[in-house]
């Protein structure tokens, strides 16, 4: 039960981070794991934290994309230009 609560608290912590803060932390985690500077158990915890950070960043990016689409309005569909035929019969 305590483990589940700790995981939920960690996810809530991630939700409070800005995009930039999350990317910075994620970069640090990746560096530690790649260098092998941490024990297996800790690397698994860091991996889980990293996945939470990735999900958080994706959510922020999706929200930003929606805002941009809303601001931009509907996409304009380019009108077909009339093409001259290759062969003019006269």
Q: Which token pair is 33?
A: 């794991």
pLDDT band at 67 (very low <50, low <70, confident <90, very high): very high
Percentage of the chain lying above the pLDDT 70 cut = 69
pLDDT band at 36 (very low <50, low <70, confident <90, very high): confident
The Cα diameter of the chain in Å comes to 87
- Using an 8 Å Cβ cutoff, are 22 and 57 in contact? yes
Residue 89 pLDDT > 70: no
If you average pLDDT over every residue of the chain, what do you get?
81
Residue 45 pLDDT > 80: yes
Residue 71 pLDDT > 60: yes
């Amino acid at each position: 039960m305590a483990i589940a609560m700790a995981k939920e608290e960690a996810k809530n912590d991630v939700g409070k981070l800005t995009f930039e803060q999350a990317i910075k932390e994620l970069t640090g985690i990746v560096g530690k794991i790649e260098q092998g500077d941490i024990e297996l158990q800790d690397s698994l915890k860091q991996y889980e934290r990293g996945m939470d950070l990735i999900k958080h960043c994706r959510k922020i990016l999706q929200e930003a994309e929606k805002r941009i689409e809303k601001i931009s309005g509907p996409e304009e569909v380019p009108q077909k230009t009339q093409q001259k035929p290759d062969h003019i019969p006269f």
